[in-house]
């Protein structure tokens, strides 16, 4: 049996990490990506949907982990790129983890900025209000990451804050939607954390994203962070305070997920190999005793080593808004959601063509919008077309998740101005003949719906490669009513020659 004294643990060097891992070398399950259940990607996209397809970084398990370079402790919440610890409002935990914390952190790492103001922070409520049925319901982390992939996320400054005071509100203002287009998720993944190999991959991601080679530059390698889905019922039974004489004495640690309750989105910002707790009460903290009596010693039996978790219950919760979570706590056969770590890669993007619309509608989930384009300016039908997710009831998320409410939000019949990225649609044309093309817009309602609306304004906007505004081409609207009848408008768009 191997135990560790407080004096030895206080040293906290790389030696500790290297010494600890060989204890359970019989575990062979390697690090890999997985899609467990319906919380790791949209079920509507089928089993072949690759959420990492457009990411540039290495996939889970593709990089060899060099344990010698991993420190015994990493806490990315102390970095300038990490936002303040928030106190969520309503069932927004999933989006405070996925967008408010992880997306904000990753975007600031990418941009080389600090998350010290609303100009560099991103709102949890923008993505939440896209899929919460305009009600106080929960969400998965992937909901936010899919919104960020498909339409982007605006800054908290333009949105009006990280959180709003009303549920189900959609932003009114083209510039908010246009800004959102710039900040995207390129890919996201979930991976299990049930074995030592999988744990080491996660530690490497938290430290420096498992970079095989660090170039000789002054820029520091900055690790990533994870989304977690914990079970929060009866937390008092699993929340322990580390006793005096032990490393990190006085801090709280979760030794298991809660024995009951529903899921709760939280953020894993680091790890500490030295944190431990005597789970079985034998007076020792060990990693080599079969605590669960399954006949073998695995990561599930470890009492030493913990993730560092940020919650969204305010900075006064658990002293500073953070808590330790034993590595072994995640291996819970009664809560399989809690066995996985979610990561995201972000990217910057500049649209070249957009559609500016001002419209109202009595039921935003029942809007059916199609946008098409043809290279022949005299065409009577589009060659290519697409149906924007947000303006077709978010079929990606199923179940009317936009909410059967007016487009502006519950009990608000105000028209709102929105923006839609047309760049991928125009790119399908290649070089347009004479630098002109015809754009088509149709608006109607879902079958058996009684939704009605009015299109007040419609224009195509063009931008240069640096994102600077060039021109706007308005589409004439004779009668903007839609719902009881189909609204169709089209116009020749000029200035499409490539320079």
SS3 sequence of 82-136:
CCCCCECCCCCHHHHHHHHHHHHHHHHHHHCCCCCCHHHCCCHHHHHHHHCCCCC
Q: Are 158 and 122 in contact (CB under 8 A)?
A: no
Distance from the Cα of residue 63 to its chain's centroid:
23
pLDDT at 433 (0 to 100): 57
Task: Judge residue 489's burial from the number of C-beta atoms within 10 Å of its C-beta, 0-12 exposed, 13-18 middle, 19 or more buried.
Answer: middle
Alpha-helix runs per DSSP H in 276-346: none
Residue 184's CB: how many other CB atoms inside 10 A?
23
Beta strands in 131-259 (DSSP E): 183-192, 226-233, 239-241, 252-254
pLDDT < 70: residue spans in the chain: 1-28, 212-219, 399-400, 431-434, 495-499
Distance from the Cα of residue 460 to its chain's centroid:
30
Strand, coil or helix: 73: strand
Beta strands in 311-400 (DSSP E): 322-326, 340-348, 353-361, 367-374, 384-386
Structure tokens at 99: 């967008």
* pTM for the whole structure: 0.93
- Residue in 148, 151, 173, 171 with CA at minimum distance from that of residue 161: 171
Residue 107's CB: how many other CB atoms inside 10 A?
26
- Residue in 89, 94, 159, 121 with CA at minimum distance from that of residue 314: 89
Task: Judge residue 344's burial from the number of C-beta atoms within 10 Å of its C-beta, 0-12 exposed, 13-18 middle, 19 or more buried.
Answer: buried
In angstroms, the CA 389 to CA 147 distance is: 9
pLDDT at 18 (0 to 100): 41
In angstroms, the CA 245 to CA 266 distance is: 29
pLDDT at 400 (0 to 100): 64
Structure tokens at 205: 């991601």
Strand, coil or helix: 339: helix
Looking from the CA of 166 toward its CB, the CA atoms found within 13 Å total 10
Per-residue pLDDT of 169-186, as tens digits, reads 999 999 999 999 999 999
């Amino acid at each position: 049996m191997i135990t560790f004294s407080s004096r030895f643990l206080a040293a906290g060097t790389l030696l500790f990490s290297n010494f600890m891992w060989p204890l359970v070398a019989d575990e062979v399950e390697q690090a890999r990506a997985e899609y467990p259940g319906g919380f790791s990607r949209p079920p509507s996209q089928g089993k072949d949907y690759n959420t990492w397809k457009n990411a540039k970084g290495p996939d889970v398990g593709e990089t060899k982990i060099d344990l010698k370079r991993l420190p015994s402790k990493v806490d990315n919440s102390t970095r300038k790129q990490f936002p303040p610890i928030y106190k969520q409002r309503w069932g927004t935990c999933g989006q405070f983890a996925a967008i408010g914390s992880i997306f904000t952190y990753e975007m600031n790492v990418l941009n080389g900025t600090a998350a010290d103001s609303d100009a560099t922070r991103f709102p949890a409520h923008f993505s939440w209000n896209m899929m919460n049925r305009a009600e106080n319901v929960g969400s998965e982390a992937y909901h936010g990451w899919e919104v960020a992939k498909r339409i982007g996320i605006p800054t908290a400054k333009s949105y009006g804050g990280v959180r709003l005071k009303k549920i189900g509100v959609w932003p009114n203002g083209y510039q908010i939607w246009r800004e959102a287009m710039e900040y995207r998720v390129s890919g996201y993944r979930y991976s299990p954390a049930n074995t030592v190999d999988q744990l080491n991959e996660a530690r490497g991601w938290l430290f420096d994203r498992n970079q095989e080679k660090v170039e000789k530059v002054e820029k520091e390698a900055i690790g990533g962070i994870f989304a977690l889905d914990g079970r929060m019922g009866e937390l008092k039974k699993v929340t322990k305070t580390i006793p005096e004489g032990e490393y990190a004495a006085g801090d709280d640690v979760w030794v298991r997920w809660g024995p009951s309750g529903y899921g709760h989105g939280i953020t894993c910002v680091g790890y500490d190999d030295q944190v431990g707790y005597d789970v079985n009460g034998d007076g020792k903290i060990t990693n080599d005793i079969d605590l669960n009596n399954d006949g073998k010693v695995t990561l599930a039996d470890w009492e030493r080593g913990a993730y560092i978790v940020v919650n969204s219950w305010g900075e006064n919760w658990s002293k500073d808004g953070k808590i330790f979570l034993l590595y072994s706590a995640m291996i819970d056969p009664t809560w399989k959601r809690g066995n996985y770590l979610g990561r995201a890669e972000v990217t910057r993007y500049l649209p070249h063509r957009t559609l500016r619309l001002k419209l109202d509608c009595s039921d935003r989930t029942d809007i059916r919008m199609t946008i098409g384009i043809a290279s022949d300016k005299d065409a009577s039908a589009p060659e290519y077309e697409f149906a924007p997710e947000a303006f077709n009831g978010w079929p990606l998320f199923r179940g009317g998740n936009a909410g059967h409410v007016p487009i502006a939000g519950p009990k608000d019949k105000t028209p709102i101005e929105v923006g839609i990225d047309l760049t991928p649609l125009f790119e399908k044309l290649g070089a347009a003949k004479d630098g002109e093309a015809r754009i088509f817009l149709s608006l109607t309602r879902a079958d058996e719906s009684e939704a009605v609306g009015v299109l007040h304004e419609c224009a195509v906007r063009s931008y240069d490669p640096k994102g600077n505004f060039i021109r706007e081409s308005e589409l004439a609207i004779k009668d903007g009513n839609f719902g009881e009848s189909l609204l169709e408008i089209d116009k020749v768009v000029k200035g499409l020659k490539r320079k």
